[in-house]
Structure 1
Amino acid sequence: MKFGLFIPQGWRHDLTDVPPEQQWEVMLSLLHYADNAAAGEAVPGGEFAWSSVWVYDHFHSVPVPSAEATYEAWTLMAAFAAASQRVKLGQMCTCMSYRNPAYLAKVASTVDAISGGRAQLGIGAGWYEHEWRAYGYGFPRAGERLRALDEGLQIITQMWRTGSSGKFDGERYQVDGALCYPQPLQRLPVGDGGAEVPSIPLWVAGGGEKKTLRIAARFAQYTNFDGSPEGFTHKSAILEQHCRDVGRDFGEITRSSDYNVVIGENQAEIDDRFAWIESHFRKHAPGDKGEQEIANWRKSPLVGTPEQVVEALTDLQARGMTYAITYFPNAVGDRDQIELFQRQVVPALQD
């Protein structure tokens, strides 16, 4: 199993205790930490704990919009690319409709060049209606947003592989000869012959069973959907059927999920961390939405001691979840949870 780490960027009210002039330094410090963090001593050869770092692609905070800082995802990708050496760099997930796909292909390819071939493209149809409308995108019905995702991925993959969009005349997007140089440094096999072409790994996020998972079957090297044991098993079966329908090898796609992690050496530590979560969200998101956020934390499969978290991940791994992207509460002020996880959980699951 591989592990990714979300870097606090403000979207989940996770920079509220940091003065604005220090927020970039906090993000940079955690990036450097992940870039250099070795797993526990039990791992032969001292493998690195974190394969990747991640940010969200959102403009307004959750569970309620606020005046708290929310740093823009692809600006951070470029900064992370220049400021790190090893970890892969992802977004979970880029909203297709926030950027023209030809432009997005160019941005992602530039980040890949800056990073030396470490960019990932997490991509989805988008859902946060408040920021859609606030930024003037309207809020098309789900079918239209999914059409944009499908057409956009056709354009992006064509531009990466060939350097040009060619002429594309879709219902949502029209491009004619958009160039993408530099092409990505990374190369991925395509077709039955396995010929490699320039491309950035695509993580198609979302669990929509009729359309999103079918789009994933066509385009994705990675998926990201429901991380509960039952939900993950169900979505995996739907994805496998779509792969059969489109003639794709299901085994080619790595299945991932995102997880809130609350970990402690004992129940007292876990209770203390939940007390912080409750206090934090009742302060910054009072009311029903804040209470729902607290409930979501309590429902996470990855709550408990290291032994309990390993047990939960072992079960998920048996179901085919082989890439966990983790988010820790109060990461800017309490790095102990991250260190405990990488010391006692990662070695038990790492490839």
Structure 2
Amino acid sequence: MRFGLFIPQGWRMSLTDVPPEQHWETMLSLLHYADNAAAGEAVPGGEFAWESVWVYDHFHTVPVPSTEATHEAWALMAAFAAASQRVRLGQMCTCMAYRNPAYLAKVASTVDAISGGRTEMGIGAGWYEHEWRAYGYGFPSAGDRLRALDEGVQIMERMWRTGSSGTFDGQFYQVDGALSYPQPLQQLPVGDGGAQVPSIPLWIAGGGEKKTLRIAAEHAQYTNFSGSPEEFQHKSQVLEQHCRDIGRDFGEITRSANYNMVIGENQAEIDDKLAWIDAHFAQYAPGDQGHRESSLWRHGLMVGTPEQIVEKLQELQNLGMTYAITYFANAAGDREQIELFQRKVIPELQG
């Protein structure tokens, strides 16, 4: 199994206890920690490590919009690219409608050049209605958002692979000869002949069965959908059928999921971590929404000791979930859980 780590950027009220002038220092420190682990440092045996770091593509905090900072995803991607050497860099996930896809392809190619070929493109249709309307994007129907996602992914693939969008006259996007140089440094296989073309791995995020997973079957190198065993198995079966329908090898697509992690050596430590989460959201998101957020953590799948977490992840691995992207509450102020997970969980699943 492969592992990614979310960097606290503020969206989930993860920087509330950090003075604004220390936000970048806090993010950079955790980036360097993961980057060193990607080199085999601080991991028993030197072979088990974080493969990637991630941020969210959002503008306003959750569970409620607030004046707390939420740092912009692609500005962070460029900064992370320049400030790291080994760890791969992703967003889970970029909202297609927040940026024109031709422009987004250009931005991602530039980040790939800065990073030396370490960019991952998480992309989805978007869902945060308050944010959409606040920034003047309106809020189209789910069907229109998914059709825009499909068109945008096609434009990005063309630009990365050929350096030009060509002429694309879609319902939502129209481009005519938009150039994307530099092309990505990364090379991905295309067709059955072993040829490779410049491109960036596409992570199609979301579990919509009729459209999103169909787009994933057509274009994705990675998917990212529900992480519970029952839902993961069902979504995987739907994705496999889409692949069968279009004649694609289902095994070409790596299936990932995101997990809120609460880990402790014993129940007392776990209870302390959960108590911090309760107090945090009671302070920064008082009321029903904050209470619901705390409940999601408390009753989440990945709450337990290292042994319990390993057992849960092994079950998911047996279902085909081979890339777990982890989020730890209070990562900005307390790395104890991250270090415990790295010492006692990752080696058991990377053997």
* TM tier, smaller: over 0.9
The equivalent residue for 2:213 is: 213
SS of 1:165's partner is coil
Deviations 1:32-83 (A, max 9, x none): 000002477654xx12410000000000000000000000000000000000
Structure 2 CA distance for aligned equivalents of residues 336 and 268 of structure 1 = 14
Q: Is the 8 A contact 1:40 1:344 kept in 2?
A: no
Q: Is the 8 A contact 1:267 1:304 kept in 2?
A: yes
Structure 1 CA distance for aligned equivalents of residues 41 and 185 of structure 2 = 28
Amino acid paired to 2:339: E
Q: Is the 8 A contact 1:125 1:149 kept in 2?
A: yes
Structure 1 residue 296, shift from structure 2 partner: 1.2
SS of 1:148's partner is helix
Deviations 1:221-260 (A, max 9, x none): 0000000011100100000001011111000000000000
Where does 1:21-36 land on structure 2 (aligned, <5 Å)?
Answer: 21-36=21-36
Give the TM-score, by structure 2 length: 0.98
Where does the alignment leave 5 or more consecutive residues of structure 2 unmatched?
none
SS of 1:270's partner is helix
The equivalent residue for 2:58 is: 58
Where does the alignment leave 5 or more consecutive residues of structure 1 unmatched?
none
Amino acid paired to 1:312: K
Structure 1 residue 302, shift from structure 2 partner: 1.4
From the superposition, tell whether residues 95 and 41 of structure 1 become closer, same or farther in structure 2 (CA, over 3 Å).
closer
Structure 1 residue 299, shift from structure 2 partner: 2.8
The equivalent residue for 1:233 is: 233
Structure 1 residue 350, shift from structure 2 partner: 1.4
Where does 1:215-294 land on structure 2 (aligned, <5 Å)?
Answer: 215-294=215-294
Q: Is the 8 A contact 2:43 2:49 kept in 1?
A: no
SS of 2:58's partner is coil
Pair 1:4 & 2:17 matched:
no
Structure 1 CA distance for aligned equivalents of residues 272 and 333 of structure 2 = 14
Where does 1:30-49 land on structure 2 (aligned, <5 Å)?
Answer: 30-37=30-37, 38=40, 42-43=44-45, 46-49=46-49
Amino acid paired to 1:334: D
Deviations 1:76-133 (A, max 9, x none): 0000000000000000000000000000000000000000000000000000000100
Structure 2 CA distance for aligned equivalents of residues 39 and 25 of structure 1 = 21
Structure 1 residue 287, shift from structure 2 partner: 1.3
Structure 1 CA distance for aligned equivalents of residues 194 and 15 of structure 2 = 44
Structure 2 CA distance for aligned equivalents of residues 15 and 200 of structure 1 = 30
The equivalent residue for 1:167 is: 167
Q: Is the 8 A contact 1:10 1:68 kept in 2?
A: yes
Deviations 1:292-322 (A, max 9, x none): 1112112322110000000000000000000
Q: Is the 8 A contact 2:48 2:347 kept in 1?
A: no
Name the stretch that deviates more: 336-345 or 29-38. 29-38
Pair 1:68 & 2:68 matched:
yes
Pair 1:202 & 2:202 matched:
yes
Where does 1:123-138 land on structure 2 (aligned, <5 Å)?
Answer: 123-138=123-138
- Measured on the aligned residues, the alpha-carbon RMSD in Å equals 1.0
Structure 2 CA distance for aligned equivalents of residues 296 and 199 of structure 1 = 37
Q: Is the 8 A contact 1:185 1:199 kept in 2?
A: yes
Amino acid paired to 2:257: S
Where does 1:45-194 land on structure 2 (aligned, <5 Å)?
Answer: 46-194=46-194
Q: Is the 8 A contact 2:48 2:350 kept in 1?
A: no
Amino acid paired to 1:339: E
Give the TM-score, by structure 1 length: 0.98
Q: Is the 8 A contact 1:40 1:346 kept in 2?
A: no
From the superposition, tell whether residues 258 and 234 of structure 1 become closer, same or farther in structure 2 (CA, over 3 Å).
same
Give the fraction of aligned pairs with identical amino acids, expressed as a percent. Answer: 79
Q: Is the 8 A contact 2:163 2:183 kept in 1?
A: yes
Structure 1 CA distance for aligned equivalents of residues 339 and 82 of structure 2 = 25
SS of 2:145's partner is helix
